[in-house]
Amino acid sequence: MDTRTQILEAAERLLDVSPDRDISTRAVCEAVGVGAPVLYRLFGDKKGLLSAVVDYGFERYLNSKRALPVSDDPVQDLRDGWNGHVAFALAHPAVYRMMYSPAFETVPGAAKEALDLLRVVLDRCAAAGLLAVSPEVAAQTIMAANIGVALSMVTQPETYHDPELSTRVRDALHAKLLIRRDNLPAEPDRLAPVALQLAALLRQQPSGLGEPETALLVHWLDTIGTDTTH
């Protein structure tokens, strides 16, 4: 393990046990056995170190997401993704708090990639006719809820100590956003999910239409799929 990674992991360990969620660069250097000039050369200052800790956290989080196997059941993959998110938060509580802290002025690009990875799974759900809302709406809803549950569990463990909390919230949310295979809506209620399904398929597979025509058709289908008046 190189010195930079050793410093990042030492900083995380110290943050995990810090009662005030703060660390000193001196303590980090002592934990690794390096002098302060080494830390400042690599990270600039304490703020740079903490920003690097956040980046390192997102890197590991995204690697865990990319490593998830893709099954024939996109709904199960969606459940596994939720569970993996919460598991990462519980395994890295201090870093997770920082990853989604409002104290950072700019949102890391990795946060958008995390949302994009979720969107890929939801596109598969839509292509299977199992999504009741657009993939974009579902992605934002699920990610916001997933972060909310995980943050509650790591920042207030005395209050949110129920081990089944995450599963209950996940299942309740999925019940609103997904369509069970054995409970497909009857006509004409199937118009919205079928429109979303076709839009998802057009995004994944080429058609005889040109790119502008395909984009327009997908836009129309998304509009039909998210129209609450029918």
User: Domain check: are 97 and 155 in the same one?
Assistant: yes
For the cut 80, the answer to whether the pLDDT of residue 164 exceeds it is yes
Residue 41 lies inside a defined structural domain of this protein: no
For the cut 50, the answer to whether the pLDDT of residue 83 exceeds it is yes
Share of the chain above pLDDT 70, in %: 85
Within 8 A by CB and 6+ apart from 219, the residues are none
User: Domain check: are 102 and 131 in the same one?
Assistant: yes
- Write out pLDDT tens, residues 132-154: 888 999 999 999 999 999 999 99
User: Domain check: are 194 and 120 in the same one?
Assistant: no
User: Domain check: are 114 and 198 in the same one?
Assistant: no
Q: Are 217 and 209 in contact (CB under 8 A)?
A: yes
- Write out pLDDT tens, residues 13-50: 999 999 888 999 999 999 999 999 999 999 999 999 99
Angle between helices 191-204 and 211-226 (to 10 degrees): 150
For the cut 80, the answer to whether the pLDDT of residue 157 exceeds it is yes
Residue range(s) defining the domain that contains residue 120:
74-184
- Write out pLDDT tens, residues 185-202: 544 456 666 677 677 777
| Residue 210: C-alpha distances to residues 121, 181, 197, 213, 214 (Å) | 26, 33, 20, 5, 6
